[in-house]
Amino acid sequence: MGLTQPSAGPTAATPTDRPRTLAEAVRAAGRDFLVELIRLRPDLGYPLPADVAELVSRAATTTSTVRALDRLDAWTRLIAEMLAALRDPATPAQLLELAAGSVADDLDRPGLAAAVDRALDLLRARALLWGEDELHLTRTVREYFGPYPGGLAPPSPQELSADRITELLAAAGTDEHDVLARLAHSPAGAVRNADRPVSLEQAATPIDRLLARGLIRPLSADTVVLPREVAWRLRDGRFSAAPVPSAAPPVGGRHRERSVVDRAAAGAGYGLLEDVAGVAAALEDVPHRLVRDGGLASRDLTQLARSLGTDLAQTAFVVELGAAAELYGTGQGNRLLPTTGYDRWVAEPLPDRWLRLVRAWLIMERYPGRDLAPGEHALGPELAAPAAPAARSLIMELMRAADPGTVLDHDQLAAAVGWHRPRLTAAGQPSTDELSRWLWREAGYLGLTGLGAVSGFAAESHRPEEPLSAELAGLFPALVDSIIVQADLTAVAAGPLPYRIAEELRLLAVQESRGGAGVYRFSAESLRHAFDAGWTADRVHEWLSHHSTTTIPQPLSYLVDDVARQYGSIRIGPALSYLRVDDEARAQAIVNHPEAPSLGLRRLGPGVLIAAVEAYQLVAFVRQIGFAPAAEDEFGRSLAPPDRLRATVSERTRTAGTARPTEVADAILAGDRGRRQDQFDTTELLAKLEQATRDSGPVRLGYVGPDGAPVERRLTLVDLDDGVLRAVADSDSAVLRIPLSRVSSVSPLQ
């Protein structure tokens, strides 16, 4: 039968240099193995282990083991589960026999053996398995697969022969076979009084008849189990319910011209940068307060989408990505605001800005490309996904494996994702189809794809800490520092403007179109923003003359001078508030306005009015009726607008994984070499203690006393049980109980 158990011990003589523990195997494997182990399981390197023993101890923890197993492909994971179903140690021959019935590929015996060996090498490289001829799976891996690995229970105490199973199955009825089919891959079931004696003549139910025939057996008073040899026969020699491919499914598709794809991808990347800046500008102008769960309200998202000219899905992605890159954050009054980091980011070159967003995308634990369901919000808890970085890393690996310009087949991509990381789509997680669709959409927003094909930018995404190649960086539009001012009160920028120039131009004019080239429109209202910020007419004229490649059209010059003349002719200050008006006719017009009584406006003297509302409310009212007031303080000094609101975001500390695997490995090996020569690891020490207990001779035992001080005494060891050493002191015959964890050394005495 395919699951014959090996004997408890090795059948051949064990070589003296064969590793007896995982720690010994790791030490014997050498530096290169250790470097690769740290690369595959970076959590083992932080905090830095003192030596190999501590590294192995950390690798055997449940958390680290589960993380490593979740990153296995379907075939390697199946091999690990097969090993968990076998008694320790297993042999490659036993494993090969199990795999023969569960592989989906049409492989001959040597090909299958090679596929199994590849999986074993992957398990060894991750310190989940050690040994060559005798395969030892770590204890935590066995615990991970539970009491019934592969859905197989242990064999019966008195194992049924193949002929006997055939005879019993032939005698069973249809209803009994239905029960057996349900137990074939889930062997345990709840049954009342399962351990009661039952005969075939007394059996009244299919369960009773199966118990009587011995095809199932009682495990406890209320549980029955299907013996392993019966399950193996019902499965026709297959370990898994469905065959598993030993190699990854291919991913390919038709091709597009790479140069065209890269240009389209660069356009998408630049558009994303513009969208991030556009959202920041909107957040400055209009309050966007977050809802109770921290998400952005649907109406605010709709408003942002309208201002960007994009759909809700892309706008949600921009907001999520900006927050992940720490360009947006929560500020005063629970408002979503640009951060101080945004001001630094927007001044960087375009390729560097793009790389900053890619870095944030690769590590963000969210799926912003997911479709929002009713009641869900961008930045809300619904999009949280701790597995998202692993999924993105896998998608990018598959994209980089294809030639740039390849339009990947979606079904093949989803199948490959499911094979490489089956745990990504475990119960409660999105399907491989949904996952690959979301991430492909996100990659398209970033410009990692263009025209539906893999772009050259994807090939460089695995090293986001390094600058883009000159070829790809050159695809971003070049910055221009001049504009063309036209007679229709518009200005055209032939390319993206540097941040400072663009910010100043948006202070003077309203941006009507975005992209590689932008169109801006001047108006009296837009120019008043500049005067509110403290600009003068002379400064506006000077700025336009300096940055325009054309002479300033007369209509724009007249408009600037006209706004400057009107601006400040009415002065507003706190009284609660007051107005100083140079023109008596304007003062009278304000007092006579129908809404003036609601503000408590009344004349105080020639050209002076006071109001019962705050100054900012009075400013809004006077602007609403067509005048251009200037605010001043109680001393008559003009007030500059307040500093722009900014959210402060504490820099995330990313300590794990910052050191190179080679550096971590060298430090661990150095610590291992520095251990005291007389200090043994736990297994070696335990072996010496067991030998001394069997010999019943005197030993010199070193241990740590109850007060924490080191102690050395001449003792005779009695027994070692449950982690406690019992010994008799030679000096006074006192019986000592010493926890094994406190013992540091043992030396036999003659």
**pLDDT tens, residue by residue, 705-740:** 877 778 888 888 888 876 788 888 888 888 888 887
| Residue ranges in 293-429 assigned as alpha helix (H) | 298-308, 312-324, 340-345, 350-363, 388-401, 410-420
Rounded CA gap, 361 and 290, in Å? 22
* Cβ neighbours for 104, distance < 8 A, ≥ 6 positions apart: 242, 243, 244, 245, 246
Rounded CA gap, 138 and 26, in Å? 13
More confident residue, 46 or 322: 322
Q: Is the Cβ–Cβ distance between 359 and 345 less than 8 Å?
A: no
Query: In the chain, pLDDT over 90 holds for what percent of residues?
Result: 35
Asked whether residue 600 carries a pLDDT value surpassing 80, the answer given is yes
pLDDT value at residue 736: 87
* Banded model confidence at residue 258, pLDDT cuts 50, 70, 90: very high
pLDDT value at residue 614: 79
Asked whether residue 3 carries a pLDDT value surpassing 60, the answer given is no
Rounded CA gap, 332 and 330, in Å? 7
Asked whether residue 483 carries a pLDDT value surpassing 80, the answer given is yes
Region 125-150: mean pLDDT is 92
Region 91-113: mean pLDDT is 88
Rounded CA gap, 627 and 625, in Å? 6
Asked whether residue 654 carries a pLDDT value surpassing 70, the answer given is no
**pLDDT tens, residue by residue, 344-375:** 999 899 999 999 999 999 999 999 988 888 88
In 238-289, the DSSP E strands lie at: none
Phi, psi of 387 (to 5 degrees): -85, 0
pTM for the full predicted model: 0.73
Asked whether residue 10 carries a pLDDT value surpassing 50, the answer given is no
Rounded CA gap, 671 and 25, in Å? 17
Asked whether residue 268 carries a pLDDT value surpassing 80, the answer given is yes
SS3 716: strand
Asked whether residue 304 carries a pLDDT value surpassing 90, the answer given is yes
* Banded model confidence at residue 637, pLDDT cuts 50, 70, 90: low
Which token pair is 38?
């740290």
Region 173-196: mean pLDDT is 85
Rounded CA gap, 607 and 338, in Å? 41
Cβ neighbours around 624 below 10 Å, total: 10
pLDDT value at residue 528: 87
Q: Is the Cβ–Cβ distance between 438 and 388 less than 8 Å?
A: no
Query: In the chain, pLDDT over 70 holds for what percent of residues?
Result: 92
What would you report as the CA-atom Rg of the chain, rounded to the nearest whole angstrom? Answer: 38
Q: Tokens 């001001």, residue?
A: 343
Q: What is the biggest distance separating any 2 CA atoms in the chain, rounded to whole angstroms?
A: 119
